[in-house]
Amino acid sequence: MNPARPATVSGARTNTGAPASCGAAPASPPGARVTPLPVTAVLFDRDGTLVVDVPYNGDPDRVRLLPGARRALAAVRGAGLATGVVSNQSGVGRGLISHADVRRVNARVDSLLGGVDVWLYCPHLPEEGCDCRKPRPGLVLRAARLLGRVPGECAVIGDIGADLAAARAAGARGVLVPNPATRPEEVAGAPESAPDLLTAVRTLLDGGRS
């Protein structure tokens, strides 16, 4: 863990520019039972969940929303829930893209979606072992704090097992929306899954009855 290398906040609606210190907040112990709470915030993975996954994309012109993404965000906002994006962006640590590139891409996604409350991303390499890189919980915990929620009130929607592991470690709810890149074992191990993003959101909004 390297607490000197913080996760990064971006997005005009974020209420503070203060960075999240890696490892600043404790994770729930492995196997801990989480008491279900009403979902009041939905956190989305970015690449492969909201937008077509273009590896290490630093070009806003290459951003393409996935089917249902705009409607899903509109449904969450319409229900009065907070929204956030939590994303691993190791291309920064690899020197392939800059922080400015990530922010420009995030701004493009934000404009296409009609506005997201909080944007957080981890710029670190996997081998750095920072607590903000999914599957660790730092991004989810930080997003919950910025939104004024406890983690148990948050749901994380993503396309790979690391997204759900980060949710579980933070004490949040995780929903998998698989795509062709999702590994079969990740699908099999998901506590909750949905065939598409809009179905995942509708399931959360109606309390899991869908």
Helices 69-78 + 99-113 axis angle, to 10: 70
Which of 82, 70, 155, 159 lies closest to 109, judged by CA? 70
* Cα–Cα dist 47/37, whole Å: 27
Q: How many CB atoms lie within 10 A of CB 140?
A: 30
196 is known as an active-site residue: no
> Helix crossing, 197-205 with 69-78: angle to 10°?
10
Phi-psi domain of 80 (left: phi exceeds 0; alpha: psi -120 through 50; beta: other): left
Clarify whether 47 is annotated catalytic: yes
Contacts of 32 (CB under 8 A, 6+ apart): 171
Dig out the tokens for 108 from the structure.
């493009």
Query: How many Cβ atoms from other residues are within 10 Å of residue 208's Cβ?
Result: 12
Taking Cα atoms as reference points, which of 135, 131, 134 lies closest to residue 3? 131
Residue 136: closest CA among 11, 39, 20: 20
Question: What amino acid positions are annotated as catalytic residues?
Answer: 45, 47
